[in-house]
Amino acid sequence: MDVELRGITKRFGPVIANEAVDLVAKGGEVLGLLGENGAGKSTLMNVLCGLYRPDEGEIVIDGRTVAFAGPGDAIAAGIGMVHQHFMLVPVFTVAENVVLGVEPVAALNRLDLAAARAKVREIGETYGLTVDPDARIEDLPVGVQQRVEILKVLFRSARVLIFDEPTAVLTPQEVEEFFQIVRALRDDGKAIIFITHKLMEILEIADRVSVLRAGRIVGGGDPGAMSRAELAEIMVGRPVRFEVERTAFTPGAPRLEVAGLTVLHDTGEVAVDGVSLTVHAGEVLGIAGVQGNGQTALIEAITGLRPAVTGRILFDGQDITDASPRARHAMGMAHIPEDRQRMGLVTDFTVAENMVLDSYYSDRFSNGPAMDWRAVNRWAAEAAEAFDVRTPTVFAQAGHLSGGNQQKLIVARELMRDTKLVIAAQPTRGLDVGSIEYIHARLMAARAEGDGVLIMSSELDEILSLADRIVVMFKGRIVAEFDASAAPPDKAAVGLAMAGAAP
Amino acid sequence: MSDRGAVDSLLQRAAPGRAEFEDLVIVPLFAVAVALILGALTMLATGVDMATIGRSYVALLQGSVGSLGALSETLTAAVPLVLAALGLALGFRTGLFNIGAEGQLLMGGLAAVIFGFSFPGLPFPVLMPLCLLAGALTGALYAAIAGYLRAATGAHEVISTIMLNLISYRLLDWMLSLDWVQREGRSDPVSRSVPPNAELPRLLDWLDPNLRVHAGIFLMLLAVWAVHWLLFRSKLGFEFRASGANPDAARYAGIRASLVIVLAMALAGALAGLAGANQVLGVLGRATPGFSAGIGFDAIAVALLGRSHPVGVLFAGLLFGALEAGGRQMQVDAGVSIDLIGIIQALIIVFIAAPLLVRAIFPWGFRRRDKGGAR
Amino acid sequence: MTHRITRAAICLPLALGLATEAGAFTACQITDTGGIDDNSFNQTAWQGVLDAQGQLGIDARFLESQAETDYEANITSLLGGQCDVIFTIGFLLGDATQAAALANPDQMFSIVDYAYDPAIPNVLGQVYATDEAAFLAGYLAAGMTETGILGVFGGINIPPVTIFMDGFAWGVDHYNGVHGTSVTVLGWDPDTREGLFTNNFDSLDDGRAFAQNLYDEGADIVLPVAGPVGLGSAALAAELGPDELMIIGVDADLYLTDPERGQVYLTSIMKRMDATVFQVIEQAIAGTFEGGVIVGTLENGGVDIAPFHDFEGSVPAALAEELATVRAGIIDGSIAVGGM
């Protein structure tokens, strides 16, 4: 089955989300739809699956023009979408979730779960989507939940499958398994549309690629004939540097010294177990590790959000083990928190308010008990301009910004002042290439100015490209240390340490 | 270092959007209209004839804004609602769901009465403000108990304020039976009267002795301004709002959650206590077991209807005051039960809380969201 | 629905016309928090207004108070010439009525259960020697109890309530004195003036709970003096059955106003507010209204006890005769109603 979008235009008020987009997905082929966050990928796909009606243009399926009044029509036409955020009922079983809404019924309108189970098994065996039909969703790992979403779509006889950022929630192993499934689906003749902003995935899985930028198709073709740099340039609209530009490594005095630090989880279990580390001025220390090995608690202890049970933390030689977050901030510690929506921002606040979230009390922004909003707004506008935070005004709600701009807002707030130590946790998670490049450059600029920089990331590539020195955390301890000041260490060796194998 | 023009353009305030206007003005107006229509249907369903329904709504209008006396009654009813609701709005903004305005109001009112009759010799310009202060402080202390329990032990304020309400009823009953509080010659629970020089003076009694509107309206307007300033212009308000909108981010920003909780509860209690003091000093002149009259609970609705914004609270309080004053006229003129006003108030809240429902009922009042500029 | 709205719009001018139409004479009543349909206190007074409406052709309006804070506001909303006479029902409206009467000297007021000293020229108080009738009820209850324990509780500790409890307790004492028995009364002590009070006139739940407590303490006859609160006690008695618990009604003959549970009412201590209210309206129309007090007594029929109705056969003839004697004694003054 072939699907064609012809001249699709979709506007929201004055905002044009898609403009004259042409796109073809063919059976037996994986179409990669590449674009930065906010490029209009999701809008386009919502048009295709009947959620939005296009203002102009038409959808053609196997040569016939169709009009969808709603998602039901799209499903009936064989178009199925696997959303980024799963739409499953956690307390239902796999089979129950798969049939939800199209339940097979036996006599007397009874739910025929046996038929559902059989069908789930049958589809599973065809495409290698092995899932126990009687397992409850909430007991399943994320990768398996995604399979259930795919099963749902296949159960409804979809022949065009749309995947919206499918790998964002998966571990590397799960990604590999997922690609196997996608290939199996393709080989069975399904048309696959694979939405992503990750270049490597396009290069690995797509048979053809279309690149969307600012609502328009700006390029495409056979990814086999294109390099990563070429693709990135089409997507971002300018040349992108993948190698982080770094000045010579000239470490100075210790900025941060952590000695024998032990920290507990809220549950009372040990999260960080006797960790010692040092970050020097002009040095980037990378903390690598699979998520959930105590990195989060370590960062919280260093920034004052979680008490240390034992051990000491020194900042420029001064003991800050029991100092408040505000005192540490005032001493020149910047903290880019791991979860920007949960901790880094007040999404209901304006950009300006978020820009002073941890400095509102200073004399610069207040007069006695009153805020000096004029000063706040002006400073916020300057910071937004300096750090390329794209927002209509500083009075816009932070929650309305794209993820990349939210993160740049936080980086601007934390770095646009005299800092000595930068603590960055997952600084680029979920961001597009342009934002990642920008934030990396800013972190390197802080290093060049003599700040100590501590970066925690679960993306090993990020650590490898930024750090002068790498420590690996496993089960709350530091299990390995690698010198990366001259050349990046062996990726395999670091990976083994992350998996808990002794170096 | 940065482009001056670009910085200036970031500082341009956008004109209030159509969506904001719809949310703040059209939805409430339609909510009131639908509530009145459904109120009429309710009357029809209970066998009231059309003429009486028409008469009752005319009476509702006349009794709330139809005359000087009606306006006076509307304002008199609105003042304590607005004061207490301002406190609740402050709490909501801080993420605290304070159900305890009723109890805080009782304690504040009682304290104002006791202070008033204990120092009858003080001159008016000293005694009246001190009585208000006594009410505010007592309300603040009473609410701070719940705040402290939340900050120190994590006890949820919904539970603790409900319990404090129950305690306040009995505490009031008991206090009113004490010899030094109870009015001489009475064996029922009624306090001594507030001396005239502690009363909030009536403003228009020189025009007509039955105009009850009193100086409390200035207190109300002052409180609206003060809460607005506090929430949106002060450092403390920034901390309150940050804590309410995202406690994790507030902690990250170095804001001390426990201090904010206790302070916000205390300020909310102070406003509720002020509402109580306003009632005893401006309207009742004494304390009796039921003198809160459910104002502390109605104020929750007022705060929600006003979207926890001081100006919104002011208008919501005036609306509820008008419904109360007009409701009396409705019963007098049309013989319709005053309970109907309760139904209408509840319906207004339902429709305010469900803006999508209002949009669905009145599609022509709103711009289609999805279609956007396509039309 | 559109039709109805249109009709409503057409009706509006009509309604306006009705609202401004002036009746010949208008009597208005403000209830206390018990409400107009409380089966006892407010309803009895309203009956007087309704009787006047039927017999004298006057207009009648009422306004219910939902909270104590409403009293003053409610009086205010009835001022302005729309009412010829305003009845305020209950002792608790005393302060508010006084204030309004002094501010509006041309407006006629009449208040139930309150007398001003000195009298206010435009307020006629209606008070009742309720203790006389309660004395009879106490005597009757003492003669009927099988457990020897009687229960009583009040709404609020105010004179018009406690006068019932006083009379009841004195009647029981009198019975004990005559018969040498030791029937006791729980819930009120006429000497210390302390007892059981719900502190409201509207919670039926309280009425049930207080009666349950008294029943648990052994009382088989309970006198609730709290307006509609007593209906909760009657509901309990109806569940337990009159063999277990009987109720003595107050204000009206509750056997008639609360017929669903009529079987639980041994009798009722009636305060004939309907009669006095009617009398006040007559005076107001005739122009003979003047401030002061009218007192309802056993002698002038202003207070009395109701017939036994369903208990007619259960009350021993000897007891009924004794009651008649006591009644005559109270009227001729040979029996003093009061503490011993």
Both tokens of residue A90? 């956690």
B236 contact residues in A (CB cutoff 8 A) = 369
Contacts with C15 from chain B: Cβ below 8 Å: 51-52, 54-55, 58
Q: What is the pLDDT of residue B365?
A: 62
pLDDT confidence of residue C162: 93
Residues of B in contact with A394 (CB under 8 A): 10-11
Q: Which domains does chain B have, with CATH numbers?
A: 26-40+49-366 (1.10.3470)
- Number of domains comprising chain A: 2
**CA gap B177, B118 in Å, rounded:** 16
Q: How far apart are CA A353 and CA B233, in angstroms?
A: 12
**Across all residues in chain B, what is the average pLDDT?**
88
pLDDT value of position B17: 66
Residue B63 φ then ψ, to 5°:
-75, -15
Looking at beta carbons, which residues of chain A come within 8 Å of B254? Answer: 324-326, 329, 358
- Shortest distance between the Cα of B232 and any Cα of chain A, in A, equals 8
pLDDT for C6: 39
Which residue in B242, B249, B373 is closest to A11 by CB distance? Answer: B373
Domain finish residue from A236, A268, A295: A236
Compute the count of residue pairs across chains B and C with CB atoms less than 8 Å apart. 118
Report chain A residues whose CB lies below 8 A from the CB of B9.
393
What angle (nearest 5°) sits at the alpha carbon of residue B215, between those of residues B345 and B99? 40
Q: Is C131-270+308-332 the same fold as C23-128+274-296?
A: yes
State how far residue B143 is from chain C, nearest Cα, in angstroms. Answer: 23
The predicted pLDDT at position C138 comes to 95
**What DSSP string describes C168-187?**
HHHHHHHHHHHH----EEES
Cβ atoms B73, B208 nearer than 8 A: no
What are the φ and ψ backbone dihedral angles of B310, each rounded to 5 degrees? Answer: -55, -40
Question: Which is it for the CA torsion B154, B158, B161, B165, positive or negative?
Answer: negative
Is the same domain home to A383 and A417?
yes
Q: Does B235 touch chain A (CB under 8 A)?
A: yes
Question: How close does chain C come to B306, measured CA to CA in Å?
Answer: 24
Are residues A78 and A123 located together in one domain of the fold? yes
Chains that touch B (3 or more CB pairs under 8 A): A, C
Same domain membership, residue A334 and residue A227: no
- C and A interact (at least 3 Cβ pairs within 8 A): no
Tell me how far apart the alpha carbons of residues C97 and C72 are, in angstroms, rounded to a whole number.
8
What pLDDT is stored for residue A502 in this prediction?
56
My answer on whether A170 and A308 are in the same domain is no
**Are the C-beta atoms of B79 and B220 separated by less than 8 Å?**
yes
Among C112, C124, C96, which residue's Cα sits nearest to residue C47? C112
> How close C13 gets to chain B, by Cα (Å)?
8
Q: Do B235 and A371 touch (CB under 8 A)?
A: yes
Give the residue from B213, B220, B214, B221 showing the smallest Cα distance to B199.
B214
Across the range B131-140, mean pLDDT stands at 97
Same domain, A375 and A443: yes
Cβ burial of A234 (10 Å; 0-12, 13-18, 19+) is: buried
- Check CB contact under 8 Å for B10 and A381: yes
Q: Which of the residues B58, B176, B286, B295 would you substitute to probe the C interface, choosing the one with the greatest number of C C-beta atoms within 10 Å?
A: B58
Length of chain B equals: 375
Give chain A's radius of gyration (CA, Å).
Answer: 25
Q: In chain A, what residues touch B23 (CB-CB under 8 Å)?
A: none
Mean pLDDT of the B71-78 span: 94
Which pLDDT score, from 0 to 100, does residue B339 have?
A: 79
Mutate to test the interface with A, among B2, B7, B10 (most CBs of A within 10 A): B10
Residue A388 contacts B, CB cutoff 8 Å: no
The one-letter amino acid code at C10 reads I
Last residue of a domain, one of A180, A209, A236: A236
C-chain residue closest to B170, CA distance: C199
- Assess whether pLDDT exceeds 50 at residue B308: yes
CATH class of domain segment(s) C23-128+274-296: alpha beta
- Residue A247 domain-assigned (yes or no): no
Of A236, A262, A278, which residue sits at a domain end?
Answer: A236
Q: What CATH number did the domain enclosing A366 receive? A: 3.40.50.300
CATH 3.40.50.2300 fits C131-270+308-332, yes or no: yes
- Residues in B closer than 8 angstroms to A353, CB to CB, are 238
CA-nearest residue to B61 within chain C is C16
The beta-carbon neighbor of B373 closest among A13, A378, A391 is A13
- The pLDDT, as a whole number, for residue B16 is 66
**Of A382, A390, A409, which to mutate for an interface test with B (greatest number of B Cβ within 10 Å)?**
A382
* Residue A298 in domain: yes
Chain C residues inside the 8 Å CB shell of B332? 28, 61, 63, 77-78, 82
- Determine the Cα angle at B323 with ends B321 and B328, to 5°: 105
Are residues A441 and A309 located together in one domain of the fold?
yes
Helix ranges restricted to H, chain C: 2-20, 41-56, 70-78, 94-103, 130-144, 159-179, 204-216, 229-240, 254-257, 273-286, 317-332
Do A206 and A258 reside in the same domain of the chain?
no
Nearest CA in chain C to B59: C19
Show residues of chain B in contact with A335, CB under 8 Å.
252
Specify the length of chain C in residues.
340
Q: What is the DSSP string of A238-288?
A: S----SPP-------SEEEEEEEEEEE-TTS-EEEEEEEEEEETT-EEEEE
DSSP string, B254-266: T--HHHHHHHHHH
Do residue A300 and residue A194 come from a single domain? no
CB contact (8 A) between residue B251 and residue A325: yes
Q: With an 8 Å CB cutoff and a minimum of 3 pairs, decide whether chains A and B touch.
A: yes
Provide the sign of the torsion angle of the four alpha carbons A133, A135, A138, A142, taken in this order: negative
Quick one: what percent of chain B has pLDDT higher than 90? 58
Between residues 37 and 96 of chain A, which touch chain B (CB distance below 8 Å)? 52-53, 55
Would the pLDDT of B369 be above 70?
no
**How many residues does the structure list for chain A?**
503
Q: Considering only the beta carbons, identify the residue of A11, A55, A357 that sits closest to B253.
A: A357
Is residue A393 less than 8 Å (CB to CB) from chain B?
A: yes
pLDDT reported for residue C233: 95
Residues A31 and A128 reside in one and the same domain: yes
- For residue B372, the model assigns a pLDDT of 34
A391–B252 C-beta distance less than 8 A: no
CB of B44 closer than 8 Å to CB of C8: no
Instruction: Compute φ and ψ for C116, nearest 5 degrees.
Output: -95, 140
Tell whether C4 is within 8 A of chain B (Cβ).
yes
**CB A287, CB A473: distance < 8 Å:** yes
Establish if A503 belongs to a structural domain: no
Q: What is the pLDDT of residues A252-273, one digit of tens each?
A: 899 999 999 999 988 888 999 9
DSSP B342-373: HHHHHHHHHHHH-HHHHHHH-GGGS--TTTGG
Q: Which residues of chain A are under the pLDDT cut of 70?
A: 168-169, 171-173, 501-503
Q: Cis ω on the peptide bond leading into residue B201 (within 30° of 0)?
A: no
Give the sign of the dihedral formed by CA B137, CA B138, CA B139, CA B143.
positive
Give, for all 340 residues of chain C, the pLDDT tens digit. Answer: 334 433 434 333 333 333 334 458 999 999 988 888 888 788 999 999 999 999 998 999 889 888 888 888 889 888 877 899 999 998 889 989 999 999 999 999 999 999 898 889 999 999 999 999 999 999 999 999 999 999 999 998 888 899 999 999 999 999 999 999 999 999 999 998 889 999 888 889 999 999 999 999 999 999 999 988 999 999 999 999 988 999 999 988 999 988 899 899 999 999 999 999 999 999 999 989 988 999 999 988 889 999 999 998 899 999 999 999 999 999 998 888 875 4
Q: How far is CA C120 from CA B371, C115, C124, in A?
A: 72, 9, 8
Q: Would you tell me how many other CB atoms lie within 10 Å of the CB of residue A409?
A: 27
Lowest average pLDDT, out of A454-468, B90-104, B116-130, goes to: A454-468
DSSP state of A131: -
Contact yes or no for B324/B339 (Cβ under 8 A) = no
**CA–centroid distance for C14 within its chain:** 38
Asked if residue A401 is part of any domain, the answer here is: yes
Q: Within an 8 Å CB–CB cutoff, is residue A14 touching chain B? A: yes
Spell out which residues of chain C touch residue B57, defining contact as CB-CB under 8 Å.
12
Distance CA A291, CA A191 (A): 34
Q: Is A209 helix (H, G, I), strand (E, B) or coil?
A: strand
Residue numbers in B near A366 (CB within 8 A):
235
Is A343's Cβ below 8 Å from some Cβ in B?
Answer: yes
CB interface of C with B, residues 143-202, below 8 Å: 156-159, 162, 193, 199-200
Note whether C34 and B74 are within 8 A (CB).
no
Same domain (yes/no): A227, A193: yes
* DSSP notation for A17-63: EEEEEEEEE-TTEEEEEE--TTSSHHHHHHHHTTSS--SEEEEEETT
**Residue A494 CB partners (closer than 8 Å, separation 6+):** A288, A460, A463, A464, A470, A472, A480, A482
Instruction: Check CB contact of B242 with chain A, cutoff 8 Å.
Output: yes
Q: Please check whether residue A413 touches B, CB under 8 A.
A: no
Residue B64's CB: how many other CB atoms inside 10 A? 25
Question: Is A42 or B367 the better-scoring residue by pLDDT?
Answer: A42
Domain residue ranges of chain C, discontinuous segments joined by +? 23-128+274-296, 131-270+308-332
Do A129 and A198 lie in a common domain? yes
Distance, in Å, from the CA atom of C226 to the CA atom of C211, rounded to the nearest integer, reads: 12
Whole-complex ipTM? 0.85
Look at residue A176 and tell me if it is in a domain: yes
Instruction: Output the pLDDT for position C1.
Output: 38
Query: Which residues are CB-contacts of A168 (< 8 A; sequence separation ≥ 6)?
Result: A84, A430
Q: Which domain holds residue A462?
A: 254-498
CA distance B150 to chain A (A): 18
Task: Look at residue A30 in the predicted model and tell me its pLDDT.
Answer: 94
Say whether pLDDT at B333 is over 90: no
Q: Give CA–CA dist A449/C165, Å, rounded.
A: 90
